[in-house]
A and B are shown apart, each in its own frame.
Chain A
Amino acid sequence: MRVMNQKKLQFLSDYIKNAMPRVHTHGSDIFLSFEYMKRIPAAYMILAGIRTGKITEKTVIIESSSGTLAIGLAEVCKLLGLECHIVTDPAINGTPEFFCHLLGAVIHKLDVPDEKGNFQQRRLKEVDRLRNDIRDHFYTNQYDNLDNRISYCQVAAHILQQIDGPIDFLVSPVGSGGSSSGLLDSLRLIFPNIFGVAIDTQGSVLFGDENYERKLRGLGNSLIPHNLNSSAFQRVYWVTQDDAILGCQRLYTEHNIFAGLSSGAAFKAHEHLRQEHAHSTIMSVMPDTGYRYLETIDKEQLISSAVPLKIKSPINLNRNNPAFTYMEL
C-alpha cells in the first residue's frame, strides 16, 4: 500500500484555498461567488480519506453527481493520479461532462429515470454495483459524508477574514446539505442570531414536498441526506426553473455576477428578503458560474424577462401550481 507523498497533499490544500469564493459586498448585500463551490468538499473529502488511510495511490474514487462535484473530484483525482468514477445522468451533459472526460474520469451515465422522473435512486444503485465490482475503492458519498459539511468551516473562515459586521440572513441553495448546513452551522458560532434561509425547488423532498420530477437542477433532492440539518433553517423558499433563470438575469444586470441557476434561485429569495428587511445584512451563496447554463437555457427569455416577483405565502405546495413560494420553518 503506497501512501500519498507530502507534495501531493500540499497541492490538495492549495487547491482548496484556490477554490474559495469571491466575497462581493454591495452595501449590506453580500454574495459568495464560487467558480465551482463543490471543488472544496471534493478535495476535503479526498484529503480526509488520505489522512485516515482509506485512500492510497491505488484507490478508486466513486461518486454520484451530475454537476460540479463531478468536476471537482475529476480535477482532484487527476492531480493525485487516482482513478475516478462518476455515476451521473443527462444533467451532466455539456461542460461538466466535457471536463470530466478531459480529466480522465470514467462516466457512468444513466439515461432512464425512475418512475418519479428522477435519477437519484438509480444512480445510487449503480454506485452500489460499482462498489461491489471494485475492491479497493473509496465512495466519497457527498450526502452522508460529514467531511463534506466540515469542509465549509474553511469557507466560513475565508468569509470572516473579509467581512466586519454580523450577518443577519444566510441564503443557501440546498442539495447534499454540505454547504448549506456547514456554512450555517459554522457562521452561527460567530453570529448566533443568523437567520438560515434554505433554497429548494418543487419536487424535492428536502423540506416536505413530494418526490416528483424536478425541472430545476443543481439543488433539491429526492432523498434526505444526513448532512442536512433542516432544523437549523428558519425559512425555506421553493423556486421554479423560470424564476431561477430570471434571478440569474437580474443578478448579472444588477450586481454583475454571472452565476448558475441555483445562484439565480438564491438571488430571487435574496431580493424577497431585501423587500422585507431593508437594512439587514443578507449573504447569499452563489455555487457556480453561469457559463455552462448558456448551452441549455433560452437566451431570449433572459433578455426579455421583466417578470415581477411572484410570491405566495403561506406555502401551498402543489405540483399543479408551481410558483415562487416560501414557508417559515
Chain B
Amino acid sequence: MTTKTPQSIDVNQPNYRVYSHAGEWIQGPILCPRTGNFEKVLVTLRTNTLRTSFTYNSNNNYRHGKKIQNLAEKLATKYHAHIDPCHFMKFSNIPIGVGLGSSTSDLVAFTFAYLHELGVRLTHLQTYQMATEYEGYSDPLYDSRTFLFNSKSKKELYSLPSIGKKYKAALTFSKQVREIVTDELQFNYTQEDIEKFKMIEAAFRRGITTANFKMIFAAADASAVQNQHHMSLDDYDEIKDICSRYAMGFSISHSGSAIVIHAEDQNLALVRKVLAGEGYESKKITISL
C-alpha cells in the first residue's frame, strides 16, 4: 500500500491507492483436520481486478458505507483525532459479495491509511485485528448450529440448534447491486449482472416465502456463480470445497446473505419477526427429523 498526504478531494486523483489481493485471510475459523485446532488458512486465487473507491470526510458527510463510517468514528474516539478528508481508490482482485472478505479489505485499507495519517505505527496483524474487530461479525452459517445476527449491529441474536445434517450447507447470497449509479459500479458490473441479481433475489424470496429449501439453495448457488465470473471456476470450487469440508462456518458478505433458519418451535415466531424486519417474508414449515 502506498499513501500520500491529502490536500483536497478529487476522485480522479485519489489520496490513497490501495491494492488488495485475494489470498488474504479468509474470514472465520477453519478446523484443521490434522491438529483438530481452529486455524486460519491462506488460499490464493486468480481473479480479475476490481475497482472501488470511496471518499472519507471527517465532517460526517460520507460517501462510503456504514461500516467505514462506524470504523472511522471508533478510530477517532480511540485516538482522539480525525484525519483530513481524503479519497480512496482500491484495486482489488477479491470478488465482491461472495464471502471472501472484500469488504474487510476496505476496512483494513482504511485503518492502515488512518493510522498512517495519525503517525501511529502498528504491525500488520495488529492493524488487521483492529479493523476486523471494529467491523464486528460477519453472517456465518454453521454446520451444526445456525447463528442469526442482527445485520446492523452484527450482534448475535440467536444460536439455534440444527435439525440435523439433511440441509447442511454453506451459502452465500449476494444482492448488493440494484442499480448502476456510480462509475465504480459501471466499471465492475454490467446491466445484465444487475438484472440477474434481481432475478436471483426473486428466486430467493420465493424460496423463503414457500419454505422451499431447494429454491433457497439454488438461489444462493446462483448468486455465487453470478459473481464467480470475476475468478477462475477451479479456484472457486476449491474455496467451496475447503469451506464445506473443514469450516465450522465461513463469512457471508454483509451486503446480503442467504439465511436458512433452522428453528425450534419456541423460537420460530421470533425468527420470523426478525426476518420480517429485514424485509423478508417467511413461512412456517415442518421438517421430519
Q: Which residues of A line the B interface, CB within 8 A?
A: 48, 146-147, 150-151, 153-154, 156-158, 160-166, 186, 189-191
List residues of B whose CB falls within 8 A of some A CB: 191-192, 195-196, 198-203, 205-206, 210, 212, 214-215, 218-219, 222, 225-226
B201 neighbours in A (Cβ, 8 Å): 157
User: Could you tell me the distance between the alpha carbons of A166 and B221 in the complex, rounded to whole angstroms?
Assistant: 14
By a CB distance below 8 angstroms, the chain A residues around B222 are: 189-190
Q: Are B191 and A161 in contact (CB under 8 A)?
A: no
Distance between Cα atoms of A146 and B222 in the complex (Å): 21
What are 10 of the A-B contact pairs (CB < 8 Å)? Answer: A150-B192, A156-B202, A164-B206, A166-B214, A166-B218, A189-B200, A189-B225, A190-B218, A190-B219, A191-B218
Give chain B nearest CB distance to A115 CB in angstroms.
Answer: 38
Contact (Cβ within 8 A) B225 A153: no
How far is it, in angstroms, between the C-alpha of A162 and the C-alpha of B212 when the chains are bound? Answer: 12
Q: How many angstroms from the CA of A324 to the CA of B278 in the assembled complex?
A: 52
Asked whether A186 and B196 contact (CB < 8 A) given A48-B191, A164-B212, A166-B218, the answer is: yes
Complex contacts, B214 vs chain A, CB 8 Å: 165-166
**Residue A160 contacts which of B191, B195, B199 (CB distance < 8 angstroms)?**
B199
Name A189's contact: one of B191, B196, B210, B215 (CB within 8 Å): B196
A164, B210: Cβ atoms under 8 Å? Answer: yes
Chain B residue at smallest Cβ distance from A153: B195
Q: A157-B201, A164-B210 are known; give 4 further A-B pairs, CB within 8 A.
A: A150-B191, A153-B199, A157-B203, A190-B222
Q: Contact between B210 and A156 (Cβ–Cβ < 8 Å)? A: no
A191 to B198, CA, bound (A): 16
How far is it, in angstroms, between the C-alpha of A153 and the C-alpha of B192 when the chains are bound? 8
* Bound complex: CA A162 to CA B207 (Å): 10
Q: How far is the CA of A48 from the CA of B201 in the complex (A)?
A: 22
The smallest C-beta distance from A200 to any residue of chain B, in angstroms, reads 25
- Specify which chain A residues have a CB less than 8 angstroms from the CB of B202 in the assembled complex: 156-158, 160-161
Chain A: CB-nearest residue to B198: A157
The residues of A that contact B203 with a CB separation of less than 8 Å are 157, 160, 190
Nearest-neighbor residue (CB-CB) of A191 within chain B = B218
* Cβ–Cβ contact A153 & B196, under 8 A: yes
B residues near A146, Cβ cutoff 8 Å: 192
The answer to whether A161 and B195 have CB atoms under 8 Å apart is: no
Task: A189 to B212: give the CA distance in the assembly, Å.
Answer: 17
A186 CA to B198 CA in the complex, in Å?
Answer: 11
What residue in chain A is nearest B222 (Cβ atoms)? A189
- Bound form: Cα–Cα A160–B198 in Å: 11
B205 touches A161 (CB 8 A): yes
A115 and B199 CA atoms in complex are apart in Å by 44
CB atoms of B191 and A186 under 8 A apart: no
The CB with the most chain A CB atoms within 10 A, among B205, B222, B226, is that of B222
Contacts of A161 in B (CB 8 A): 202, 205-206
Min CB distance A17 to B, Å, is 13
* Closest residue of A by beta carbon distance from B203: A160
Q: Is the CB of B195 within 8 A of A190?
A: no
Residues of chain A within 8 A (CB-CB) of B206 are 160-164
- Which of B191, B198, B200, B210 is in CB contact (< 8 Å) with A190? B200
With known contacts A48-B191, A153-B192, A189-B222, A164–B199 Cβ distance under 8 A: no
Q: A160-B206, A161-B205, A164-B206 are in contact. Are A189 and B199 (CB under 8 A)?
A: yes
Nearest 7 CB-CB pairings of A with B: A153-B195, A157-B202, A157-B199, A189-B222, A160-B203, A160-B202, A150-B192
